[in-house]
Amino acid sequence: MKHRNDALVKLGLLALILAAMSAGTRHGYFADLLVLSCVFGILAMSLDLIVGYVGELSLGHAAFFGIGAYTSTLLVKSGTTGFVGGVLAAAVVPALVGLVVGAISLRLRGPYFALATLAFGEGLSIIAKNWESLTGGPMGINGVPKPVFAIGSFSYAVETPMAAYILGAVILFLVFACLQYVLRTHTGQIFVAIRENSDLCESLSIPVFPYKLLAFTLSALFAGVAGSLYAHYTGFISSEVMDLRYLVTPLIMVLLGGRGTLFGPLLGAVVFTALPELLRMAGSARMVTVGFSLTIILILLPNGLAGIFQQLRQLRATQPAEAMETGRRGQ
Amino acid sequence: MTELVLQQLINGLVTGMAYSLLAVGFNLVFGTINIINFSHGAFYVLGGLFCYVLVSSMGLPYLVALLLSALVIGLVGFVAEKTILRPLRDKDPLVMMLATLGAGVGLESLAQALWGATPRTIPGPMSAMVQIGPVFITWQKLFIIAVGVVSIGVLHFVIRRTTLGQSMRAVAQSPTGAAVVGINFEWVYGVTVLLGAGFAGLTGGLLGAATAIYAFNALPVLIKSFVVVILGGLGSLPGAVVGGVLLGLVESLSITFLPDAFKDVIGYGVIIVVLLFRPQGLMGVSKSR
């Protein structure tokens, strides 16, 4: 019972924070940062599922983000589907690709898996750069339609920054709730068990491979949703969405916030969306900072910002006990 | 047609030797520390660009510059190992690999910021062509093959026959066990990364004079090293040589018969096929992973 309450409290807290942050959308520049924070928040949470919970380093995540972005852009721009259909397709297609890629690469683990997924991501990035008739290559596709909700004759276009933020926040909330639900079920517990000791899991006849494949597919699915939102919000995508930048930045968000938590990556997403923008860094200078900060964060904050909170909580929990211990020793 | 194929074969052999050199350094670090060094591509790029600066701006002779850049990049590797990996020694390998990824991306972007998107060719003294039977090749490319054979031979000797090599193999098996018998494993780790990075820097200087060095090449080079190592077998030195040469030959033959864009895709195809059907690689020893 207590656990269920705990989950609801976290959801309520997230809803409150998201609602409070909407105040920032009055200023156009901050609104932009907030919407992008939502997009990268979804991406970071999806990456955390595989990196933080299952404990495998997936370096092909930018590809799923890109596949999602392109799927919904191409569908909506050609008028095949509306925005909702585009987002759904941007969830399904990366999930299917994730299923196939996972089926091959998850036979490996640790370093082998990391490099196999990196090769997959880089291979796809090369294809995106060169298949210009489909992706527009590095020049990209302009004028990706803004999100439009149409039911019958009624239609609503998401155009104001406020509306874009609300859309992003709602989807972020749904993804959070979904991930939280999955992680609290038996399946989620097995994910963590695999991270802690996958050999032991296998010896207890827990089939590790299908669970990993499930996590990988889910993480591809949500990355695709993030990609679709990104494309429709910014109105422009190019083969750059599969670049190294979109691979390393979400990793930093996860690690800065704290892997294996859901709030951590969100916090990391807000910080690492805002910081480079506020410091007005672009291009290579930005990537120099991003790269080295990843390394520095790992050395200084191995458990991320969430780790600090956990340490504080532990400190508070152990203090009375320690006081008693020393008191007894004093007697 | 035969001449064309022969010409491609000899070019493939040169590329393959460069791949082998890259893979040998990559393999060394993986075999000893058991993590993937994601900075390997950045070390290659920096080695090439550093050699370029030494030759074209400071006017050093190419051979001196080549040695110096390999040495400097090796030292950068040593320092990186001590500052980045040492504090993370008790963390899980995933964290250590991510730290090398961050450093690699940082170094690569730094190279891009400093040298931009122009490919640079190191003005070496061996750009003259020489004819061997029906094929033409530059002296520089022959030099690459020679350096490859000699340096890999020396490395093989070091690993098999010297105390340092023995220590490296001991640490690879068990750092704790090695420490018990009095091996300073911190020193061995440092030297291993020094050698691994040095090989990457050396290859950068070699290929930079034969073709060109390009600041955006770090990631493709990293992946290429990985393909070779997977093909040959992780942790196997002969495997890295055979895998490198094989990949070089297959790639250059593919350009003869297929469009150019397919060249890199072959590498990725190789990974998938090898991982599915022979995960221990061509020369690797089967073990559970």
Interface of A with B in 47-76 (CB under 8 A): 51, 55-57, 59
pTM score of the predicted model: 0.86
Using CA atoms, how far apart are residues A52 and A255, in angstroms rounded to an integer?
9
Nearest to A288 among B30, B91, B109 (CB): B109
3-state secondary structure at position A237? strand
Name the residue in chain A with its Cα closest to that of B227.
A119
Between CA A47 and CA A53 the distance in angstroms is 9
- Cross-chain residue pair A251–B101, CB shorter than 8 Å: yes
Mutant choice from B109, B214, B217, B274 vs A, greatest count of A C-beta within 10 A: B109
Residues A217, B31: Cα–Cα separation, whole Å: 31
Nearest to B98 among A255, A286, A289 (CB): A255
Q: Would an 8 Å CB–CB cutoff place A22 in contact with chain B?
A: no
- Residue A330 confidence (pLDDT) above 50: no
CB contact under 8 A, B105 and A290: yes
Q: What pLDDT shows up at residue A321?
A: 55
Q: Which of B98, B227, B271 sits opposite A298 (nearest CB)?
A: B98
pLDDT at B289 over 80: no
Q: Is the pLDDT of residue B119 over 80?
A: yes
Q: What sign results for the dihedral spanned by CA atoms A238, A242, A243, A245? A: positive
Q: A317 falls in which pLDDT band (50, 70, 90)?
A: confident
Rounded CA separation B12/B238 (Å): 18
Q: Where are the alpha helices (DSSP H) in chain A?
A: 2-21, 28-48, 61-77, 83-105, 111-130, 132-135, 161-184, 186-196, 198-203, 208-234, 244-257, 263-278, 283-300, 304-330
Chain A: closest CA distance from residue B118 (Å): 14
Q: Which of A123, A293, A298 sits opposite B268 (nearest CB)?
A: A123
Does B97 contact A284 at a Cβ distance shorter than 8 Å? no
Cβ–Cβ below 8 Å for A299 and B84: yes
pLDDT reported for residue B285: 58
Task: Return the pLDDT at A114.
Answer: 87
Tens of pLDDT along A255-297? Answer: 888 888 899 999 999 988 888 777 766 677 788 888 888 899 8
Inter-residue contact B79 to B197 (CB < 8 Å):
no
For residues B259-277, give the mean pLDDT. Answer: 72
**pLDDT, tens digit, 9 for 90 and up, residues B63-105:** 999 999 999 999 999 999 999 999 988 888 888 988 999 999 9
Nearest CA in chain A to B36: A111
Q: How far is A257 from chain B (nearest CA, A)?
A: 14
CA atoms of B171 and B177, how far apart (whole Å): 8
* Residues A287, B103: C-beta atoms closer than 8 Å: no
Q: Is the pLDDT of residue A194 over 50?
A: yes
Write the residue in A108, A122, A292 that is nearest to B223 by C-beta.
A122
Mean pLDDT of A151-174: 86
User: What local confidence, expressed as pLDDT, does residue B287 receive?
Assistant: 47
- Distance, in Å, from the CA atom of B158 to the CA atom of B143, rounded to the nearest integer, reads 22
Q: Alpha-carbon distance B272 to A331, whole Å?
A: 68
Distances in Å between the Cα of B70 and the Cα atoms of B22, B24, B55, B65 are: 12, 14, 14, 8
Taking the CA of residue A102 and the nearest CA in chain B, the distance in Å comes to: 12
Question: Under an 8 A CB cutoff, do A126 and B275 touch?
Answer: no
Q: What does the alpha-carbon distance between residue A224 and residue A171 come to, in Å, rounded to a whole number?
A: 12
Sign of CA dihedral B175, B176, B177, B178: positive
CA distance B209 to chain A (A): 25
Query: What sections of chain B are H helices per DSSP?
Result: 2-33, 40-52, 62-80, 93-115, 139-161, 163-173, 175-180, 185-210, 218-232, 237-257, 262-277
**Pairing relation of β-strands B129-132 and A154-157?**
unpaired
Count of alpha carbons within 13 angstroms of residue A164, beta-carbon side: 27
Inter-chain residue contact B109 with A284, CB threshold 8 Å:
yes
A85 part of contact set with chain B, CB < 8 Å: no
The pLDDT, as a whole number, for residue A319 is 62
In angstroms, what separates the C-alpha of B100 from chain A's closest C-alpha?
7
Whether the predicted pLDDT of A326 surpasses 80: no
| Close Cβ partners of A316 (under 8 Å, ≥ 6 residues apart) | none
Across all residues in chain B, what is the average pLDDT? 87
* Amino acid type, B46: L
Residues of chain B contacting residue A118, judged by C-beta atoms under 8 Å apart = 222-223, 226
Question: What's the Cα-to-Cα distance from A18 to each of A21, A147, A156, A234, A309, rounded to whole Å?
Answer: 5, 20, 22, 20, 20
CB-based contact, A134 to chain B, within 8 Å: no
Nearest to B113 among A112, A285, A294 (CB): A285
The Cβ-side half-sphere exposure at A321, using a 13 Å CA radius, reads 5
Q: What is the pLDDT of residues A56-105, one digit of tens each?
A: 999 999 999 999 999 999 999 888 888 899 999 999 999 999 999 999 88
Contact A55 B268 (CB under 8 A): no
